[in-house]
Each structure stands twice: as C-alpha cells, then as structure tokens.
Amino acid sequence: MTSNASSDKTPRLQSAVKWAFVMNWGPNIIATLLTFVLAACLGKSNYGVVGMALLYIAFVQIFLEGGLGAAIVQRLDLDPEHLDAVFWITLVFSLSLLLLTWCVSPLWAEFNHTPELQRVLNIEALSLPLQGLTVVRE
C-alpha cells in the first residue's frame, strides 16, 4: 500500500518540477531571446543606448522591489490592510521613481555623451509604475 501511495505522488511531483522550471526559467529564456532579436534589429549603436537605459532601470528596480514583498511573504498573520498598505506604498514609490528618473535622465544622457539616451530612458521609466503594481501580486 505504501508503494501505491508513493507512485501516486510521482506524477504530481514531476508536474510540479516541470511547472517550477517553466515559471523560473521561462521568463529568463524569453527575455534572452528578445534581447538577441532587439540587438539584431537595432544595431550596435542604438542597442547600446537601450542597454544604458535598461542598466539604469535595473538599478532603480532594486529599490522598488526591495523589502516589502518579502515582508508580506514572511508575515504570519497577514490582514488585507497589510496588502493594501504595501500596494499603495509601492505604487507611490514607483511613481516617485518615475519622476526622479525623468529629472535625472538629462544628466545620465549628458554623462554618457548620448543625447538620445534621455528620450529612451524616459520611455523605459514608464515601466516602473507597472512593475510597482505587481509587487503585492507576486
């Protein structure tokens, strides 16, 4: 009887491992493939501009994602008010990062001697509030 119970769990375990692989590696594989396509379409100089903007956005995302999502997961007694508070704090913070980026983008472009970087960075920064909306859900 024990062997039947363990054999019943094997397909579920295999399915869980497959889904864990897809959920963890899938987005990374897709992002990598899209990066290669983007690089091929844009060319070296334009892709470099996008790369500099994405570097800045990746740095800012560290501050956006740091702490509050982990605090939700680790909290034992989680009330809806906790989720609401983290949602609104993260949304306001992401909008603040968006405005800060718009203010800093001319300096970042001048520092890199790339005037077109300002426009690309301002457009990329629009993703920050969208990512802020996902912190509680994730």
Q: Are 106 and 36 in contact (CB under 8 A)?
A: no
Question: Residue 53 has what pLDDT?
Answer: 87
* pLDDT tens per residue across all 138 residues of the chain: 455 555 566 778 888 888 877 777 777 788 778 878 877 888 877 888 888 888 888 888 888 777 777 777 777 787 788 788 888 888 898 899 999 999 999 998 999 888 998 998 999 888 888 888 877 776
Compute how many other C-beta atoms are within 10 angstroms of the C-beta atom of residue 61.
16
Q: Are 52 and 63 in contact (CB under 8 A)?
A: no
- Token pair in block for residue 66: 């740091």
How large is the C-alpha radius of gyration of the chain?
A: 21
- How many Å apart are CA 94 and CA 47, to the nearest integer? 26
Question: Residue 74 has what pLDDT?
Answer: 74
